[in-house]
Amino acid sequence: MGNTFGKIFSVTTWGESHGDSVGVVVDGCPPGIPLKIEDIQKELDRRKPGQSEISTQRKEGDIASILSGIFEGLTLGTPISVAVSNQDARGKDYEHMRTVFRPSHADYTYQAKYGIRNWKGGGRSSARETIGRVAAGAIARKFLLNDSGIEIHAYVKRVGNVDSNIEPASITRNLIDSNIVRCPDPKAAEAMITAIKEARKEGDSLGGVVECIVTNTPVGLGEPVFDKIDADLAKAMLSLPACKGFEIGSGFAGTYSKGSQHNDPFMMEGTRVRTSSNNSGGIQGGITNGEDVIVRVAFKPTATIMKPQNTVDVFGNEVELKGRGRHDPCVLPRAAPIVESMVAIVIADHYLRRRGQIGDDANPRSDQR
C-alpha cells in the first residue's frame, strides 16, 4: 500500500536490507529518453556504503541491472525495472537484536503493526531501501535535464552544530563531491569530518541538515490544493529514513520576520516576471514561480549506536542493548544524493502532470519561466 510514490511518474521500491536484492519499478517515464546503466550507476555510487572512513563499512558494490523498459539506449515508455543484489549482508551481526527493540528505531512499531519484522538490518525500514529511490531519481533527472534543463543539487549544510556558509546558487556537483562529507564549504567540511570521527570514536552519532536547490525551474508546477508541489516535496522528504523535518525558502526562520520584510517583491526582467528576493523558496500558492526551489531537510542522529541503552524485548522485559555491526555515525553525506533523487521524482511527476494539462506545444520549459 505505501510502497508507491507519484501519480504519473510512479515509483515503487521493493526489497529488504538483508534480502537477496533491492530495487525499483518506474512507470510513466516518457519514451525516447536516452538512458544508460551508467546514468543510474553513477548516482548509486554516490549513495553506496563503504565510501569513506565516515560512513558504514558495509562493502556493497551496488551494481545495478536494468531488467526492462530500455531498448537500444532509449526508454520505451513501459515500466523500467532496476535491481541491485545484496552481496555483503551479515545477518549474524543483528542476532542480538532478534528479540530486542532498538531505541528510536522502527523495530517496535513494525512489530506492533504487523506482528512480524525482519530483524536483520531493519528490513524495509533500513536506508538500504533508498537504493530504489536513487535509481528512480537518476531516471527522473535524465528526463528533466533532457526535456527542460532542470538541474538539482543537494549538499550537507550542517552536521551537529557545525554549519556551512555558502550561497546555494554557487553550488555545483563537483564542489559538493570535492570532499567525503559532501559539503561545498571546505572549512566547514573539515570541521564536520572531525566531528563525525569523534562521534564514531565515542560510539555515538550525529544528525544535521541537507539543503537542496532546483535551478531552471519552470513556472506552473504544482496542483493545488492537496497536491501543492511543496506539499509533495514535504511528503517525499519525510518519507526518507531518519528524516525529522522539512522547510522551504525561509522556513521556520521566516516566522521571525514581519510581512514587509518577508514578502518577495515582483519586478520585470525583460518580458519575464521575477522576484527580487526568494523567501518563498520558488513556490507560491503551491505552484512554482520560476525562481530557484530551495528546500532543507533535517535528519536525526543515527538510531543504532555503540553505547549501552535501556530498552525492552518482545517479551516485555527491560534490558540493556549495545549496538553492533556496521552503521553510519552520520547519515548526512549519503543522504544528499537521496534527497536529490526524491526531489527529482517529485519535479518529474509534476512536470508530466503539467504537460498533460497544457499539451506538448505549451510545455513549461525553462525559457518560458
pLDDT, tens digit (0-9, with 9 covering 90-100), for 19-69? 899 999 999 999 999 999 999 999 999 999 878 889 877 678 899 999 999
Where residue 120 falls among pLDDT bands split at 50, 70, 90? confident
Question: Has residue 367 got a pLDDT over 50?
Answer: no
Distance in angstroms (rounded) separating the CA atoms of residues 352 and 149: 14
Where residue 360 falls among pLDDT bands split at 50, 70, 90? low
Question: Has residue 96 got a pLDDT over 90?
Answer: no
Q: Counting beta carbons within 10 angstroms of the beta carbon of residue 329, is it exposed (0 to 12), middle (13 to 18) or buried (19 or more)?
A: buried
Domain count, the chain: 1
CATH code of 95's domain: 3.60.150.10
The better pLDDT of the pair 359, 35 is held by 35
- The 8-class DSSP code of residue 234 comes to H
**Predicted pLDDT at 51:** 83
The better pLDDT of the pair 330, 88 is held by 330
Cell 518563498 found at: 280
Question: Has residue 286 got a pLDDT over 90?
Answer: yes
**Predicted pLDDT at 91:** 62
**Predicted pLDDT at 277:** 97
**Predicted pLDDT at 210:** 98
Distance in angstroms (rounded) separating the CA atoms of residues 67 and 34: 16
Comparing C-alpha atoms, which of 284, 273, 268, 179 is closest to residue 222? 284
pTM score of the predicted model? 0.95
> How far out from the chain centre does Cα 194 lie?
24
C-alpha cell at 203: 560510539
Question: Has residue 369 got a pLDDT over 50?
Answer: no
| Mean pLDDT (the chain, rounded) | 93
Q: How many CB atoms lie within 10 A of CB 351?
A: 26
**Predicted pLDDT at 129:** 97
Distance in angstroms (rounded) separating the CA atoms of residues 44 and 126: 16
188 touches 273 (CB < 8 A): no
368 SS3 class: helix
Distance in angstroms (rounded) separating the CA atoms of residues 184 and 206: 19
Distance in angstroms (rounded) separating the CA atoms of residues 131 and 218: 28
Q: How many degrees, rounded to 5, is the angle at CA 154 between CA 254 and CA 264? A: 30
pLDDT tens figures, 179-204: 999 999 999 999 999 999 999 999 99
**Predicted pLDDT at 168:** 83
154 SS3 class: strand
Question: Has residue 364 got a pLDDT over 50?
Answer: no
**Predicted pLDDT at 362:** 47
For residue 42, the enclosing domain spans 4-368
Share of the chain above pLDDT 70, in %: 95
Question: Has residue 252 got a pLDDT over 90?
Answer: yes
**Predicted pLDDT at 90:** 66
Distance in angstroms (rounded) separating the CA atoms of residues 180 and 186: 11
**Predicted pLDDT at 336:** 98
**Predicted pLDDT at 365:** 45
**Predicted pLDDT at 195:** 98
Share of the chain above pLDDT 90, in %: 84
Distance in angstroms (rounded) separating the CA atoms of residues 340 and 322: 33
Distance in angstroms (rounded) separating the CA atoms of residues 326 and 317: 26
pLDDT tens figures, 85-94: 998 766 677 7
Strand partners of residue 299: 208, 243
